[in-house]
Amino acid sequence: MDVKRQEIADTLLREVAKCRACRFCVDMCSLYQATEGVESMAPYGRLQIIKCLLNGALDEDDPIVYSLYSCLQCGRCDGLCQAKGQNLEVSYLIRLGKYLLSHGLVKGGHDEKV
């Protein structure tokens, strides 16, 4: 992993660790509602997936890509996290997760696993 990606991975692990798992971001997520309660389609679930990808508990596969790339990046979870006092930039962290995944997805790119 190059320096930039390693820094992003470290940032992600540090930030995701701050999540108190209050799960207030779950119920209000449009995708969570659209899938009638699939937690991997909610902000909290996506953050857990990123964490598991980075610590090697999960491998990049179809459901992981589906979960992260279906995020609307609408930012509604950010405001809620802020309102609950934790102030994580959840949608930005999910976008960083996409960035890490993109290395293995873009053809002619770096083709490196997370």
Partner 1 sequence: MRRSRKFISEVLTTLKENIRRTGDPLGMKGVYWTEWAKGLHLPRQGKTVLLTGRMYQMLPYIMQVTKIISSAKPLLSRGGLGAAVNLGNRFMGDKVIRFRAVGSGKVRTKGANALRGIASALSAVGEMPAYLYEHEPYSGVLLYDLGLDDYIEEHVKRVYRLLKEHNVEKVIGVDPHTTFMLREVYPRYIEEFTIEVKHYLEILSENVEELKDGSKISLEGEYVIHDSCYLSRELGVIEQVRRISESIGISLREPENAKLDTACCGGPIEYAFRDLTEKVSRTRIEELSAISRDVLVVCPICLINLQKYEKELGINVWDMGELLLRALQPG
- Contacts with partner 1 by CB under 8 A lie at 30-31, 33-35, 60-63, 65-66, 69-76, 78-79, 95-103, 105-110
Instruction: Quote the least distance from Cβ 2 to partner 1, whole Å.
Output: 10
The least CB distance from residue 30 to partner 1, in Å, is 5
Give SS3 for 77. Answer: helix
* Distance in angstroms (rounded) separating the CA atoms of residues 35 and 9: 28
Smallest separation, CB 21 to partner 1 (Å): 22
Query: Of 88, 87, 91, 113, which Cα lies nearest the Cα of 100?
Result: 113
Tell me how far apart the alpha carbons of residues 1 and 54 are, in angstroms, rounded to a whole number: 12
